[in-house]
Chain A
């Protein structure tokens, strides 16, 4: 059933990894997206790049493990759940870290990461990244369903923050059309985001 895997690109990476943690494509994307966040977090906390890479790799694995094993609880929102597994992953990671003996120099470096503030920071970064990802998927989905012109109108007015007048001139549209494009596109995106969040929630519920 090849169309299943094709349709999967429209599902968040968290779900894809949870479904099949051997999917190399999903892993590459996952690393590129969430790994980047962890890596930045390490660098911001003054880790050497090589160590940051190490930490990133480990936290990602922990995250995947948590996704696979931590039961979704319906009293949590999806975001709450995500926050929980992220926290668990980080806790796991530090627990192991503490058990290992390392040179004091590296240890001092790693200690930078081992604080409540640092960990909350990482959790937020990863959750934000999830929101962004969902937004991107939603955008992709909407983009496929709308005239390119209208899509451009939305991008320019919303992301590039041009005025309605400017966009109308540039794209040869009427001003009311620019605004209605923006209005409609964002409505669709918002609906898509909600749908994605709901379906994430549902998939996790069913699977656990």
Chain B
């Protein structure tokens, strides 16, 4: 053959698909013909990707890289870098099964692809990680539940074949579906409406059947729904995933809280007795929500927060997230998601039928839910109920953190130990933050706050002190001490006695811990320094003020003792601001500390200096108040700074200057009252300003004005106490108000009125004395 073959034939040569006789014929030509060779060269040219990668290989090796550098680094990493445990049970041996590969890792265990030898079928084998810690009773329960689940045969339920224990680990084998989970499916966004409705209808059918058989799923979520090639859902993990043992949460739960996003509120609250088929109805609603919107009804960056949302908040309407959702489906969805089980559909069967109605184009039975009511708001208007709410949330928070932590501890052998510590710490930190920020606003929550802190403290002390976390743990402990101190300070000790000393002891302890972590504020950790500055300021605040938290230990002002703490706090804040000049938190902390400092030196008689100092705080706070992230507390501290400035002026008899400052304080109080919802603080702010005004007028011997001011002070306190009857500071204030009235009446010669005011004052003081016991 002397003419050149065409491209097709050449490709056959290259691919090796050409017949050998043809090749024999072609071969001599190809070996000689340069044109054909260059064509073969082209046809067999490297694909772009490989070429690119091959090119990478040339310019890489750096002459200075040596194996011994690699060895050194690897050794260093092995020594100090990684705390995660080796996953030694990589492929367990289970009798009767050949384990092939890992299908998935989950919070609860590992799922393997396996062959069941005697039945000769492919199965998914799930091993529970915590099995090795389970006691006999738990194993028994697991077996009973798994056997119950094994009785379920339904087209949309993954069958359970076998349950057992191998080498101390529970396992069960179940049907293997090659497909994806609904969780993965939803990562691509919501499903088309009808498809979603159809899928949830099928899931409801499966759940309705299970309920008929007396089995509640308890952990319905997208990860537990497998979707096969035809798009049909298959529910898995019936009654198995959640083994809740309420009696002894700490050791037996063995339950890692994964995502609570799909959990019903009664489950989220840990009310195990209330879990019923209606909890599954809720979760079906959550699944419908997720398929329609692509996200769960509630989600946040940590489990504790999500749980609080599940309990407190109303989900965003699906139609807001996805306007394509029909009103009917939204109605069905929100009815399932009702916080109150009695208001949900009363069975999964009902949900199934309702979805069928929707799919058949018939009218649905449920009526749209009226505009969602914000639970928390509602609570705020009903303080007594709010208190109950808080106690529920509180017990739940503690339970969650503790059980999460211990569950993970129990998993330590197989899982990552320091991950457990991290999660536990994060949960505890959320609690501490909740106590500081959220519950702080709730009237009547002082006892719960304290209980929470006590449990938190215990938990913190129980956490394994992995070296990585030691500082963080100590720091949290110190923060808890500070918060406890503040609580004793504000509310006394309902258990009786010594609140003042306890407050002080807690605060001192916190400051000591910080001093050990960061001697003289020398730590390089910015947020630690922020906490340290806060602790110093709070302790100083305690020391420099007089108070009668408990009568046995009245506290006199100790400005001289407070001073060094204030100076250290100011130094820390200033140092932090050098690196991070626009940080509002630090600016605020600085302003508060400076204000304290000014008050302390004022008490020590350095009045002009005090007036000058506090101006810096005022400038900072005025600026903070105008920023877009202004907070209530900016106003409060600004107000007290003006008062401090006014006090300094007042004490050195610069009455005009003092009046001007008190007037400014009053303006701040008004601005605050307009801007924020009315609370005890709103009134207390005014009462405070009026007290100062009263003193001002009294000093000037303008008794009618002084009287008017004391009366305003007293009225405001009256209103404040309606909103926060427990607050001792308010009561103390009230005693001061009546004493002021008494003195002015006396000065005005109105003896009867003076007597009356004295009587009122004495009543309050008696009440305070009794309540101290």
- Contact A179 to B41, CB < 8 A, known contacts A20-B86, A40-B65, A190-B49: yes
User: Are B77 and A1 closer than 8 Å at their CB atoms?
Assistant: no
Complex partner residue of A175 from B23, B31, B99, CB under 8 angstroms? B31
Mark B223-239 against chain A: 1 for CB-CB distance below 8 A, else 0.
Answer: 00000000000000000
Mark B47-86 against chain A: 1 for CB-CB distance below 8 A, else 0.
Answer: 1011001101100111011010111111011100110111
Chain A residue at minimal CB-CB distance from B87: A20
Partner-contacting stretch, out of B10-18, B249-257, B431-439 = B10-18
In angstroms, Cα B99 to Cα A135, docked, is 29
- Contacts of B54 on A, CB cut-off 8 Å? 135, 158-159
Mark A80-92 against chain B: 1 for CB-CB distance below 8 A, else 0.
Answer: 0000000000000
In angstroms, Cα B86 to Cα A186, docked, is 38
Mark A13-41 against chain B: 1 for CB-CB distance below 8 A, else 0.
Answer: 00000011111100110011001110110
Complex partner residue of A31 from B61, B73, B102, CB under 8 angstroms? B73
Mark A98-121 against chain B: 1 for CB-CB distance below 8 A, else 0.
Answer: 011100000000000000000000
User: Are B44 and A183 closer than 8 Å at their CB atoms?
Assistant: yes
User: Are B85 and A132 closer than 8 Å at their CB atoms?
Assistant: no
B103 interfacial by beta-carbon distance below 8 Å: yes
User: Are B47 and A190 closer than 8 Å at their CB atoms?
Assistant: yes
A57 interfacial by beta-carbon distance below 8 Å: yes
User: Are B90 and A183 closer than 8 Å at their CB atoms?
Assistant: no
In angstroms, Cα B43 to Cα A183, docked, is 8
In angstroms, Cα B188 to Cα A75, docked, is 7
In angstroms, Cα B240 to Cα A148, docked, is 54
- Contacts of A27 on B, CB cut-off 8 Å? 74, 77-78
User: Are A39 and B69 closer than 8 Å at their CB atoms?
Assistant: yes
B660 interfacial by beta-carbon distance below 8 Å: no
In angstroms, Cα B47 to Cα A19, docked, is 32
- Contacts of B525 on A, CB cut-off 8 Å? 99
- Contact A31 to B70, CB < 8 A, known contacts A61-B81, A75-B187: yes
B104 interfacial by beta-carbon distance below 8 Å: yes
User: Are B73 and A35 closer than 8 Å at their CB atoms?
Assistant: yes
In angstroms, Cα B95 to Cα A155, docked, is 47
- Contact A205 to B184, CB < 8 A, known contacts A60-B73, A61-B77, A183-B15: yes
User: Are A36 and B14 closer than 8 Å at their CB atoms?
Assistant: no
CB of B31 to closest CB in A, whole Å: 5
A207 interfacial by beta-carbon distance below 8 Å: yes
B37 interfacial by beta-carbon distance below 8 Å: yes
CB of B169 to closest CB in A, whole Å: 16
Complex partner residue of B27 from A32, A174, A183, CB under 8 angstroms? A174
In angstroms, Cα B89 to Cα A20, docked, is 11
- Contacts of B57 on A, CB cut-off 8 Å? 132
In angstroms, Cα B61 to Cα A98, docked, is 30
User: Are A179 and B14 closer than 8 Å at their CB atoms?
Assistant: yes
- Contacts of B78 on A, CB cut-off 8 Å? 24, 27
User: Are A32 and B70 closer than 8 Å at their CB atoms?
Assistant: yes
CB of A123 to closest CB in B, whole Å: 15
User: Are B526 and A180 closer than 8 Å at their CB atoms?
Assistant: no
- Contacts of A186 on B, CB cut-off 8 Å? 44, 46-47, 50
A128 interfacial by beta-carbon distance below 8 Å: yes
Chain A residue at minimal CB-CB distance from B12: A180
Mark B1-44 against chain A: 1 for CB-CB distance below 8 A, else 0.
Answer: 00000000000011110000001001100110000010011011
In angstroms, Cα B112 to Cα A4, docked, is 13
- Contacts of A4 on B, CB cut-off 8 Å? 90-91
User: Are B46 and A176 closer than 8 Å at their CB atoms?
Assistant: no
- Contacts of B90 on A, CB cut-off 8 Å? 1, 4-5, 19-20
Complex partner residue of B40 from A132, A176, A189, CB under 8 angstroms? A176
CB of B75 to closest CB in A, whole Å: 9
- Contact A132 to B43, CB < 8 A, known contacts A22-B82, A36-B70, A75-B187: no
Range of interface residues on chain B? Answer: 35 or more
- Contacts of B74 on A, CB cut-off 8 Å? 24, 27-28, 31, 35
- Contacts of B56 on A, CB cut-off 8 Å? 128, 131-132
- Contacts of A75 on B, CB cut-off 8 Å? 187-188
In angstroms, Cα B40 to Cα A160, docked, is 18
User: Are B62 and A43 closer than 8 Å at their CB atoms?
Assistant: yes
User: Are A64 and B72 closer than 8 Å at their CB atoms?
Assistant: no
Complex partner residue of A28 from B49, B71, B188, CB under 8 angstroms? B71
- Contacts of B61 on A, CB cut-off 8 Å? 36
B674 interfacial by beta-carbon distance below 8 Å: no
In angstroms, Cα B188 to Cα A174, docked, is 52
Q: Which B residues, 486 to 533, have Cβ-Cβ distances below 8 Å to chain A?
A: 524-526
In angstroms, Cα B89 to Cα A89, docked, is 28
A56 interfacial by beta-carbon distance below 8 Å: yes
User: Are A175 and B65 closer than 8 Å at their CB atoms?
Assistant: no
A73 interfacial by beta-carbon distance below 8 Å: yes
CB of B87 to closest CB in A, whole Å: 5
- Contacts of B70 on A, CB cut-off 8 Å? 28, 31-32, 35-36
Mark A51-83 against chain B: 1 for CB-CB distance below 8 A, else 0.
Answer: 001001100110010001000011100000000
User: Are A190 and B50 closer than 8 Å at their CB atoms?
Assistant: yes
Mark B670-687 against chain A: 1 for CB-CB distance below 8 A, else 0.
Answer: 000000000000000000
User: Are B44 and A182 closer than 8 Å at their CB atoms?
Assistant: yes
In angstroms, Cα B49 to Cα A43, docked, is 29
Name which of B53, B86, B184, B525 has the most chain A CB atoms within 10 A of its CB. B53
- Contacts of B381 on A, CB cut-off 8 Å? none
- Contact A176 to B26, CB < 8 A, known contacts A57-B77, A60-B73, A128-B56: yes
- Contacts of A135 on B, CB cut-off 8 Å? 50, 53-54
A200 interfacial by beta-carbon distance below 8 Å: no
- Contact A101 to B64, CB < 8 A, known contacts A1-B90, A35-B73, A183-B15: no
- Contacts of B40 on A, CB cut-off 8 Å? 164, 175-176, 179
CB of A52 to closest CB in B, whole Å: 9
In angstroms, Cα B103 to Cα A74, docked, is 16
CB of A54 to closest CB in B, whole Å: 9
- Contact A175 to B53, CB < 8 A, known contacts A1-B91, A39-B65: no
B382 interfacial by beta-carbon distance below 8 Å: no
User: Are A131 and B53 closer than 8 Å at their CB atoms?
Assistant: yes
In angstroms, Cα B71 to Cα A28, docked, is 7
In angstroms, Cα B30 to Cα A168, docked, is 12
In angstroms, Cα B49 to Cα A49, docked, is 34
B105 interfacial by beta-carbon distance below 8 Å: yes
Chain B residue at minimal CB-CB distance from A33: B70
Name which of A1, A31, A99 has the most chain B CB atoms within 10 A of its CB. A31
In angstroms, Cα B102 to Cα A39, docked, is 34
User: Are B65 and A21 closer than 8 Å at their CB atoms?
Assistant: no
CB of B178 to closest CB in A, whole Å: 12
User: Are B71 and A207 closer than 8 Å at their CB atoms?
Assistant: no
A206 interfacial by beta-carbon distance below 8 Å: yes
CB of B42 to closest CB in A, whole Å: 10
Other contacts beyond A57-B81, A175-B37, A176-B23: 13, CB < 8 A:
A20-B90, A32-B67, A39-B62, A40-B65, A56-B73, A57-B73, A60-B81, A176-B40, A179-B14, A179-B37, A180-B15, A183-B43, A206-B104
- Some 27 contacts from A to B, beta carbons below 8 A apart, are A4-B91, A21-B84, A24-B74, A24-B78, A27-B78, A31-B74, A31-B77, A36-B61, A39-B69, A40-B60, A57-B81, A60-B81, A75-B187, A99-B524, A128-B56, A129-B60, A132-B53, A132-B60, A135-B53, A158-B46, A174-B31, A176-B23, A176-B40, A179-B43, A186-B47, A190-B47, A206-B103
A interface, CB within 8 angstroms of B: 1, 4-5, 19-24, 27-28, 31-32, 35-37, 39-40, 43, 49, 53, 56-57, 60-61, 64, 68, 73-75, 99-101, 128-129, 131-132, 135, 158-159, 164-165, 168, 174-176, 179-180, 182-184, 186, 189-190, 193, 205-207
B interface, CB within 8 angstroms of A: 13-16, 23, 26-27, 30-31, 37, 40-41, 43-44, 46-47, 49-50, 53-54, 56-57, 60-62, 64-65, 67, 69-74, 76-78, 81-82, 84-87, 90-91, 93, 99, 102-105, 184, 187-188, 416, 524-526
Q: Pick the 9 closest A-B CB pairs, nearest first.
A: A22-B86, A183-B14, A183-B44, A40-B62, A179-B40, A1-B91, A32-B70, A61-B81, A31-B74
